[in-house]
Structure 1
Amino acid sequence: MPDALTPAPDGTVLVFGGPFANLAATEAVLRAAAAHGLPPDRVIGLGDVVAHGPDPAACIARVRAAGIRVVMGGGEEALARSGPAPAGPGQLGDGDRAWLAALPRRLEVAVGGLRLAVVGAPEAPERPVFASTPARIKARALDRAGADGIVAGPGGLPFSQVIAGRLWHDPGAVGMPASDGTPATWYSLLAPGPEPRTLRVSHVRLACDPGPVAARMRGAGLPESAALPAAEAGRAGRPFAPGGLLWRRDAPEEAPGWPAPAAVAPLDRRKFRDPAATASGERRARVALGALRTLWINTGTLCNLACATCYIESTPRNDRLAFISAAEVRAYLDEIAADRLPVRQIGFTGGEPFLNREVPAMLEDVLARGLPALVLTNAMRPMQRRLPALARLHDRFPGRLSVRVSLDHYAPDLHELERGPRSWQPALDGLVALARAGIPVSVAGRLFSGEPEGVVRAGFAGLFAAHGLPVAADDPDALVLFPEMEAGRDVPEITEACWGLLGRSPDAMMCASSRMVVKRRGAARPAVLACTLLAYDPQFELGATLAEAAGPVALNHPHCAQFCVLGGAACSRA
């Protein structure tokens, strides 16, 4: 339920975000509201009244005097949690701080027969939502809001998007430019459309000279623009033009969004067909096995979870890759020893490896041979049942066993958006238990939230510190962040010329130093694959032995481009 239920009269509403203690911008947006003939109860601010800028007390006084409605934004949330911040809010009196702390976290307005939830920080103050934020994250917030749409900050960049018939609208911020190469800031008008249950959204440029305020902010060392994720940073410098959309709740296809989203081209069916050549006839890139450094063992694809986007499609029912046995793994360890292969690590992945009852025996075999072992796990109940055995192995072979736990995001709700309800706490408990047992741990996350990588690493750093976990969030081997791969999206094929053009080396690809052993359901013996991501494509099955699998690999799959070459990712850097 909202903190305050205050339906507005059914008429035009002006919404604006982030004055950011910029008094000139605050005055300008209030003048605009007056020019539109809007009374105070039809003007709504999305919080962040005082953050960043040079005039916090004056901005609060002006907003309070205007009598408009304001919700609590990320700046006010942070102030309520930590007290006065050094950059501005410390100048506030007790009355101002009390006013900020008492702001509602949500209002509801009705425009054109549609209910809109107005919130300052829809996800969390540290996780602003942008146009590039994946739609499933916004859809989950819309589900929780229980309204026809959300009007929200504090991303700072204006956009409108229709998601499964519901509206997500960010009017932008009035106190900071929108990083579009102009000094303009933005607000929005929401007006009833021409028919019932329609809404006309107008993004309006605010006339305000930011020069004097910007100079004061630079002089005080304050930020003049918001930190942006990669997609928004990539369009920086391209001016927005005023515009909007007509949203009809019952006909979402008529609302394409503003600004118009870039078209996502489907994968060209002519691509990735010929291992030797690309669709344009160029020689396809190939990667030679320089030296086998990491051998991955897939223990089976069965898993106790069914994640939204699993790289290997593991579920409680998918047994396309069967449980491999300790005897079958031993044959590959014997081959490594007999041929004196330069293997530095044996990795175990799944599915959930600890559903395979023979994993402890496999680990003991690996460790007794003097080889390090890495196990990838969700750290939930299957792993926790094996924790005493893992602790004994760690005691017998100190420093050789390590465990990487999958936490898809530092926020529990986003982790569970990917992995399902009630998956966060057991995983965190398992991670903490491993660390307390002294077993070296690392964490695998996903870059699916739309946040910049630095923000994700900072979020994990806070999580690790709060639980006393010995994981360095700034170390890419200790916190591995995997890029998202969009199935069916067009990606470039990698040619031999790409290495020089991209500044990448084939020696840095996973298939230059690793292979994966799998046991297919119904197969008489295991097979060796090129890498951990391509478990089902027969062209990447290289043989039954490590010697047979030592040949070069043609990069004839979209994952090769998305994950490895362009994404720069790897499952191990041993």
Structure 2
Amino acid sequence: MNKKINNIGTLKGKVLLFGGVYSNLQALEALKAIAEKESIPAENCICTGDIVGYCAQPEETVQLFKLWKAKSILGNVEIQLIDNAEDCGCDFTEGSRCDGFSKLWYPYAQSLLSKSSINHLETLPDHIVFEYAGKKVTVIHGDYFNVSEFIFKSTNWQKKEETFNATQSDVIVAGHCGLPFYHQKNNKLWLNPGVIGMPANDGSPQVWYAILDDTNEDLKFKHHNLDYNYKLTNKLMQNGLLPEEYARTIVTGIWDNTEILPAVESGLQGFGITL
């Protein structure tokens, strides 16, 4: 398996983890401000991929990410854009609502990205590896074997264990599924910090990220809500080119559908998230 893996050595202090910016410039601006407020340097800010996605400002979002100098791995969207592919590679079921919506937002993003932005995406690795508080941490998008694999909290541990074994890691930081969660077993931690570009189907317009803390040389983590100017994001998405349903989700915090979700996560729609 030919993968580009960026080993960034040992990190110390707080580490900001997030995913799925999804072309949401307002959310990225708000998160960057959080990093600055918390005095978290750019090299300690790591994205699980899909910088580009459903929202209205793909070019501005990539350029701000580039200016910030935060780190990211490749999401499936970046891989497809670099390859000039015809679809997002999200692994949606053909003919589903998500698949239909992707035929709107993906070409929209593709048409607006500059060569400079594509060049930046081409520099991103498949995975990031680092040591933190004495533990090996690997950052992936879906799972180690499939960038578009949907892994949820309810996904059985045996499935997650395949990625732990392949990477020889103590901690997996993952993205893609759009929901924040953590799953601990056998002294291993699977941590999804959530995404900042879209709400987590919890009935709130707030989005999610996580912070690692190595105080007392122990690895601790905490999920956080992010407030941002979602009304502006919603307004910009109402341009006649992007799915109206996704613009509505920005405000309501409720997904248009739960096609990708297992029964457990689907049943939690609109009930809020407790972590």
TM-score, structure 2 as length reference: 0.81
Report the AA paired with residue 229 of structure 1: P
AA at the equivalent of 1:116: V
Q: Answer with 1 or 2: which has the greater Rg.
A: 1
How many residues matched?
240
Residue 230 of structure 1 corresponds to 263
CA distance in 2, matches of 1:183, 1:8: 35
Query: Do residues 100 (structure 1) and 84 (structure 2) align?
Result: no
Which of the residues 23, 26, 33 maps onto 1:24?
Answer: 26
Alignment of 1:13 onto 2:11? no
Q: Alignment partner of 2:183: what SS?
A: strand
Contact 2:42 2:69 in 1 (8 A): yes
- C-alpha RMSD of matched pairs (Å): 2.0
Distance 2:62 2:219 in 1: 31
User: Given the alignment, which residue of 135, 148, 154 partners 2:170?
Assistant: 148
Aligned partners of 2:156, 2:236: CA distance in 1, in Å? 36
1:239 matched to 2:272? The reply is: yes
Residue 230 (structure 1) shift:
2.2
CA distance in 1, matches of 2:76, 2:220: 27
Q: Is the 8 A contact 1:22 1:55 kept in 2?
A: yes
Which of 176, 179, 186 is the matching residue for 2:201? 179
Match of 1:50 in 2: 52
1:13 is displaced (CA, Å) by 0.4
CA distance in 2, matches of 1:28, 1:128: 27
- Are 1:189 and 2:189 counterparts? no
- Aligned mate of 2:226, from 189, 194, 206: 206
Are the aligned partners of 1:8 and 1:41 in contact in 2 as well (CA < 8 Å)?
Answer: no
Shift of 1:4: 1.3
Aligned pairs for 1:279-294 (under 5 A) are: none
Q: Deviations over 1:151-178 (max 9, x none)?
A: 0101111001113221100000001001
Secondary structure of residue in 1 paired with 2:210: strand
Which of 237, 240, 255 is the aligned partner of 1:217? 237
Q: Whole-Å Cα distance in 1 between the matches of residues 215 and 16 of structure 2? A: 15
Contact 2:19 2:49 survives alignment (8 Å): yes
Give, in angstroms, the shift of residue 8 of structure 1.
4.0
Task: Determine which of 132, 152, 167 is the counterpart of 2:154.
Answer: 132
Cα distance in 2, alignment partners of residues 179 and 94 from structure 1: 34
Distance 1:53 1:83 in 2: 19
Match of 2:140 in 1: 119
Q: Is the 8 A contact 1:16 1:187 kept in 2?
A: yes
Q: Matched residue of 2:219: which SS?
A: strand
**Cα deviations by residue, 1:166-209 (Å, 9 ceiling, x for unpaired):** 11000000010011111110111011153x5x311110111113
Letter in 2 for 1:66: W
5+ unaligned residues in a row in structure 2: which ranges?
Answer: 87-105, 250-254
The alpha carbon displacement at 1:36 in A equals 0.6
Residue 162 of structure 2 aligns to a residue whose secondary structure is helix
Task: Give the whole-Å Cα distance in 2 for the aligned partners of 1:87 and 1:133.
Answer: 32
User: How far has the Cα of 1:82 moved from its partner?
Assistant: 4.4
Q: What letter is aligned with 1:216?
A: L
Change over 3 Å in CA distance of 1:178–1:109 after alignment to 2: same
Is the 1:17–1:48 contact (alpha carbons within 8 Å) kept by the matching residues of 2? yes
CA–CA distance in structure 2, aligned partners of residues 137 and 193 of structure 1: 31
**Residues 10, 113 of structure 1: 8 Å contact kept:** no
**Offset of residue 100 of structure 1:** 1.2
Question: For residue 309 of structure 1, what is the aligned residue in structure 2?
Answer: none
CA contact (8 A) 1:16 1:173 kept: yes
AA aligned to 1:20 is Y
Amino acid at match of 1:206: L
SS of residue paired to 2:8:
coil
Structure 1 residues 524-561: Cα deviation after superposition (integer angstroms, max 9, x where no partner): xxxxxxxxxxxxxxxxxxxxxxxxxxxxxxxxxxxxxx
Q: Whose RCO is larger (CA < 8 A, sep 6+)?
A: 2
Q: Which residue of 2 aligns with 1:69?
A: 71
Equivalent residue letter for 2:79: E
TM-superposed CA distance for 1:9, in Å, is 2.6
The aligned counterpart of 2:95 is none
Q: How many Å apart are 1:83 and its aligned residue?
A: 3.1
* Whole-Å separation in 2 of the counterparts to 1:137 and 1:80: 29
Q: Deviations over 1:387-436 (max 9, x none)?
A: xxxxxxxxxxxxxxxxxxxxxxxxxxxxxxxxxxxxxxxxxxxxxxxxxx
Q: Is the 8 A contact 2:66 2:120 kept in 1?
A: no
- Counterpart-to-counterpart distance in 2, 1:144 and 1:175: 29
Distance 1:50 1:21 in 2: 5
Q: Which residue of structure 1 aligns with residue 99 of structure 2?
A: none
The answer on whether the counterparts of 1:2 and 1:108 sit within 8 Å (CA) in structure 2 is no
Contact 2:27 2:228 in 1 (8 A): yes
Please say if residues 23 and 58 of structure 1, whose CA atoms lie closer than 8 Å, have aligned partners that are also in contact. yes
Q: Which residue of 2 aligns with 1:441?
A: none
- 1:280-319, aligned counterparts within 5 Å? none
Give distance in 2, aligned partners of 1:168 and 1:118. 10
SS in structure 1 at match of 2:13: coil
Partner amino acid, structure 2, of 1:208? Y
The alpha-carbon deviation at position 145 of structure 1 amounts to 1.4
